Structure 1
């Protein structure tokens, strides 16, 4: 186990009783609101535990029945103190997600904030060893040119076989990685293979996705405690705390 993994396990063990709270989302909203308006922030009152975490900004749909639209999402697998980590990633996900333009002040009223505190990290036995709707996945794999090719379909081991393994090189010149939070596969209607294939694409591989490639994927599965709040809920919270809007 690496030093980071040891720290991660200790942090999760020490703080496992603390679920994600609406106050975590209010704090993220407050950080963003004050960064855009120069208003004074409300000091956090929740415990300053340590967690790996993600902050997600969504744009709420203008019509009933439609799903929120992703506006920014960035986080870290390294345990962060909640006071500093949530403040940092509230702004990083709002301003530095390369998939989107920076969030601007006029958008605030259309936003919702979702915070995910990550827990229960485990190494999966193979790329199918996780549950849709329960686990998030962090995948990593070497460049496909470094992956040995199975001799024939008939002799290729099943992903669920106890003897399934892939030879590795001592030095990989290039590798890929990506993650999906636990709610993503279920929200997208993906099965496990569809989620793995999408994560492979997200990691940056644009070539053919073979069964050999899937078997070479190392999966670190995890769970999360999630909370989300709307702008209206945040506004009421900030006013109740005696701060101006």
Structure 2
């Protein structure tokens, strides 16, 4: 019985052709994938045995240490249990010319012989590599879309922001996602002023074995955010995604909520640092990007996280390690880093505090409080 794939040269060339064509189609599919809506940046903390995927990083106090305002017309969107939409800029330039126009892909069978030459296959391979480099640069360009509205530094971040986060999480877990949750007065004012600010929502879970009422008694349970300027009502989306879509943890269950503490951080004042020490410990957070041997690395620490590293030198070392680079740290590496410094305002609220101050969403006492808060918000200028 003859072989299904005879080892003849024409057959081998045909297989190679189909492989090249398949690769080009896969590339085209990849370009389309990255040009499609992309999930918001995941703010990651150091978790033993886990690796972090993207440029927004956060290390918790319980662990070993814890996206300029440019806006493009195209936006990526992701719906949430709150019925709101997560908005993220999509850079058109990153896919310009990305459509592959190769007459060879659409050739007739009678034209195949013209495509079987080594030179033509080499040209196809070179085009493939060039397209992949272009795609990589496009992805990297998106990472640079950092920034905030000038007024973000004046936002009054209160515990009402975290109350909102608890409301969204509990409503979603109780399958009441269609139910409206009251916006914090701070979010209402941000909308009136047209502010777009980057933000993070972090969930910590109380460890019953070591909990003593201090920060040390909480462990990271999920954190997702963005360094890009986003509409204020979008911030609430992170309350759900941080609890349900942080790939390092299983989704938060309803019976875990009573042991949670939430933190909301609003960022502002993004500036390019002149060098790796051009920032103030206790004031700035850092976003770093650098390349080593052709590989790109990036990582971020929020302002409150850098405090635990005690010195700026140690903070930069930890940031480099957080970016998943574990090689030697030379003066050349430090000088080549693209470092962005920023500031932020954060506020935390535990579930017991949420319950006592606001009441749990859906309860009778809470409904009355919401009505009073709505009247107060209406009276604001």
Q: TM-score, normalised by structure 2?
A: 0.51
Shift of residue 191 of structure 1? 1.8
SS state of the match for residue 160, structure 2?
Answer: helix
Which of structure 1's runs of 4+ aligned residues deviate more than 3 A? 4-9, 238-241
1:67-78 aligned within 5 A: 67=216, 68-78=218-228
The structure where helix makes up a greater share of residues is: 2
Instruction: Give the one of 172, 182, 206 matched to 2:326.
Output: 206
CA distance in 1, matches of 2:231, 2:146: 12
Distance 2:338 2:316 in 1: 11
Aligned to 1:163: none
Equivalent in the alignment of 2:305: 184
Aligned residues: 211
Distance in 1 (CA, whole Å) between partners of 2:304 and 2:346 is 9
Q: Give the CA deviation at 1:233.
A: 2.4
| Superposed displacement of residue 28, structure 1 | 0.8
**CA distance in 2: counterparts of 1:15 and 1:214, whole angstroms:** 30
Q: CA RMSD in A?
A: 2.4
Question: Residue 225 in 1 paired to residue 345 in 2?
Answer: yes
Using the alignment, how far apart are the partners of 2:168 and 2:367 within structure 1? 16
User: Contact conserved, 2:290 with 2:336, CA < 8 A, in 1?
Assistant: yes
The CA distance in 2 between the partners of 1:78 and 1:193, in whole Å, is 27
1:51 corresponds to 2:197: yes
With CA pairs under 8 Å and 6+ residues apart, which has the higher RCO, 1 or 2? Answer: 1
Change (3 A) 1:232 1:215: same
Q: Is residue 34–residue 41 contact of structure 1 (8 Å, CA) maintained in 2?
A: no
| Matched residue, 2:84 | none
Map 1:1-245 to 2 at 5 A: 3-4=70-71, 8-9=147-148, 11=149, 13-39=150-176, 40-46=179-185, 47=188, 48=191, 49-62=195-208, 63-64=211-212, 65=214, 67=216, 68-83=218-233, 85-142=234-291, 144-145=292-293, 174-186=295-307, 188-236=308-356, 237-239=358-360, 240-242=365-367
Q: Using a 3 Å threshold, how does the CA distance of structure 1 residues 232 and 185 change in structure 2: closer, same or farther?
A: same
Report the structure, 1 or 2, having the larger strand content: 1
What do the CA deviations read for 1:28-77 (whole angstroms, capped 9, x no partner)? 11111111112445321421342100111111343314512111111101
Aligned to 2:300, the other structure's residue is in SS state strand
Q: Please give the secondary structure, in 2, of the residue aligned with 1:126.
A: coil
- Counterpart CA distance in 2 for 1:218 and 1:3 is 18
The TM-score with structure 1 as length reference comes to 0.77
Task: Please state how far the C-alpha of 1:200 moved relative to its aligned partner.
Answer: 1.5
Segments of 5+ residues of structure 2 without an aligned counterpart are: 1-67, 72-143, 369-381
